[in-house]
Amino acid sequence: MDRRALLAGAGALVLTTPACAAYPPQVPALKSVAPYPLGVAARHLHLADPDWAKLAVANFSQLTAEWEMKMEYMLRDDGSLQFDRADALAAFARKYGMKVHGHTLVWYAQDGLTFQRLKGDPDAFLNAYVGYIQKVMGRYRGIVRGWDVVNEPVWNDGRGLRPCLWREVLGDDYIGLAFEAARQADPAAVLFLNDYNLELTPAKRTTFLRLCETLLKNGAPLQGIGTQMHISADLAPGAVTTAIRDIASLGLQVHVSELDISLRGDPLANVVEPRLNQLKVFEAVIAAYNDVPAVQRYGLTVWSLRDKDSWLNSARERKGPIPDEPALFDDRGRPKAMAERFVAMMR
Ligand code: XIL
């Protein structure tokens, strides 16, 4: 074995068998080394878990509500709004000096009875649409730093906009209308269009970026792009690099908004060592994000604190009997190799 092969082998050994090295790795607070806000997804139930709270506060400087700022939770069938849990998340963030990112106002996947009932009356529908955005954003004015105004507007294959109730009643301009309403509701908030698979499917990215350009041309107050980055360990690292570079080329704020790297791809093609691949993909994300001009780096958010908190391990999403390990911290809150690498890459 030549020297290079031996060294590569040694590196792989350290990465794949952490029990041989100091484990868990000694890792400083992630937020203390990050030159941009570091966010974590949070649900109301996490606030009652002291281990979750301690780890989140120590390592992250920003929160995104994982569910309780979405329409499905906030808008009741009688049209009234339910702010209790979002308020609790905001209070938690305030108490611990964390920023809040708002997620999300308009999403094809959630509409609700209130809006379905107004389908036949476009004027009333538009009033309710603008009203919803203004009430929700108004409540968190000065608290929420930026909002995902519209979430996941583009079809997976990039063929165009997705069908949804908003588009059906308001037309393609449902997006521009939402941004206008958002601007009025909170002139200081950074307004995002957020989507996924922008790295996996270049055709989707092209359509998404064209949509951003069209919105800007038409005067919409779009200020940021959220790239969710629910990715898998079998993704080619270069796909991440190209995507982040392309996204940043528009000059808007860039938020890596929901990062998790699944070990359970569909299937895990060509992956010899999933954890090692996961680390390589993670490195590519961090390297590419670090290359984005500092003024455009809104922050990087992970979509669960520990592996066990991940939506990928929920009854609905879970693939097979073996739990996924997409997070930077393990079930016991110990930093994993990705956390260690994050710190090393900031030096
Ligand atoms: C997911 C949450 O993680 C789950 O807890 C919830 O039940 C469903 O939504 N893209 C998004 C997020 O924009 O809002 C989704 O979050 C994950 C995919």
- Give pTM, 2 decimals: 0.93
Q: What percent of the chain has pLDDT over 90?
A: 87
Q: How far is the CA of 148 from the centre of ligand 1 (A)?
A: 13
Interval 206-233: pLDDT, tens: 999 999 999 999 999 999 999 999 999 9
Q: How far is the CA of 48 from the centre of ligand 1 (A)?
A: 20
pLDDT at 321: 81
Burial of 35 (0-12, 13-18, 19+ CB in 10 A): exposed
pLDDT at 258: 99
Does the active-site annotation cover 180? no
Where would I find the H helices in the chain? 3-16, 30-33, 50-59, 71-74, 84-95, 113-117, 122-139, 165-170, 174-185, 202-217, 237-248, 274-291, 337-346
Q: In DSSP terms, which residues pair with 38 in a beta bridge?
A: 300
How many residues make up the chain in this entry?
Answer: 347
pLDDT at 5: 41
| Tally of CB atoms within 10 A around 313 | 20
Q: Angle 164-148-231 (CA atoms, 0-180°, nearest 5)?
A: 85
| Tally of CB atoms within 10 A around 238 | 11
Pocket lining: 151 vs ligand 1, CB cutoff 6 Å: yes
pLDDT at 14: 40
Across 8-17, 22-31, 86-95, 242-251, least confident range = 8-17
The residue nearest atom 3 of ligand 1, judged by CA position, is: 311
Interval 53-99: pLDDT, tens: 999 999 999 999 999 999 999 999 999 999 999 999 999 999 999 99
CATH number for the region 31-346 comes to 3.20.20.80
pLDDT at 266: 63
Could you state, in order of their start, the residue ranges of all structural domains in the chain?
31-346
Q: Which of 40, 67, 104, 301 to mutate to test the pocket of ligand 1 (most atoms within 8 A of CB)?
A: 67
List the catalytic residue out of 152, 180, 199, 325.
Answer: 152
List the catalytic residue out of 68, 258, 325, 340.
Answer: 258
Burial of 314 (0-12, 13-18, 19+ CB in 10 A): exposed
d(CA 174, CA 59): 37
pLDDT at 292: 98
pLDDT at 1: 36
Q: How confident is the model at residue 21 (pLDDT cuts 50, 70, 90)?
A: low
Pocket lining: 67 vs ligand 1, CB cutoff 6 Å: yes
Q: Give, rounded to a whole angstrom, the gap between the first and last alpha carbons of the chain.
A: 32
Q: Which atom of ligand 1 is nearest to the CA of 151?
A: 13
Q: How far is the CA of 304 from the centre of ligand 1 (A)?
A: 11
Q: How confident is the model at residue 11 (pLDDT cuts 50, 70, 90)?
A: very low
d(CA 159, CA 26): 47
Least Cα distance to 287 among 224, 243, 249 occurs for 243
Q: Rounded mean pLDDT of the chain?
A: 93
Q: How far is the CA of 9 from the centre of ligand 1 (A)?
A: 38
Residue 20 clears pLDDT 60, i.e. is over it: no
Rg (CA), the chain: 20
* 64 contacts 38 by C-beta, under 8 angstroms: no
Pocket lining: 108 vs ligand 1, CB cutoff 6 Å: no
Does the active-site annotation cover 152? yes
For residue 186, CA distances in Å to 42, 138, 143 come to 23, 7, 10
